């Protein structure tokens, strides 16, 4: 199991399995957030506490919710607005640098969408 957290520790993330890679997206939001994303089925991710510790920003198309720690402002994850969609993104920068160093980076040209 992998454990990560926001800067202040108010939001913790536990993953059952290490991801195979991380995605570096250059869209306007991801570039500004500085996030490296890995994607999981929501059932494979535990957010602690499960509710109440994050605030949400919905992107213009309103299909994704970006979650931030209410205390320190770190972006923790994104989740689909439609909860039937079984995929979420976790900001892998919440985890130790040695975990990130082992993962290949996939470049995503989100700026061209």
Domains and CATH numbers, the chain: 2-112 (2.170.150.70)
Give residue-wise pLDDT tens across range 13-71.
999 999 999 999 998 889 999 999 999 999 999 999 988 999 999 876 778 999 999 99
Q: What is the DSSP letter of 113?
A: -
Rg (C-alpha) for the chain, rounded Å, is 13
pTM of the predicted model as reported, rounded to 2 decimal places: 0.92
Specify the DSSP element, H or E, that contains 98. Answer: helix 97-101
Task: Give the distance from CA 62 to its chain's centroid.
Answer: 17
CB 45 within 8 A of CB 14: yes
């Amino acid at each position: 199991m992998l454990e990560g957290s926001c800067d202040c520790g108010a939001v913790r993330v536990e993953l059952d399995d290490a991801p195979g890679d991380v995605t570096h997206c250059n869209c306007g939001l991801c570039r500004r957030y500085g996030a490296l994303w890995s994607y999981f089925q929501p059932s494979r991710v535990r957010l602690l506490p499960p509710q109440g510790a994050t605030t949400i920003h919905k992107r213009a198309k309103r299909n994704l919710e970006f979650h931030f720690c209410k205390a320190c402002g770190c972006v923790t994850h994104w989740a689909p607005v439609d909860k039937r969609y079984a995929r979420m993104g976790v900001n892998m920068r919440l985890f130790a640098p040695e975990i990130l160093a082992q993962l290949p980076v996939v470049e995503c040209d989100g700026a061209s969408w």
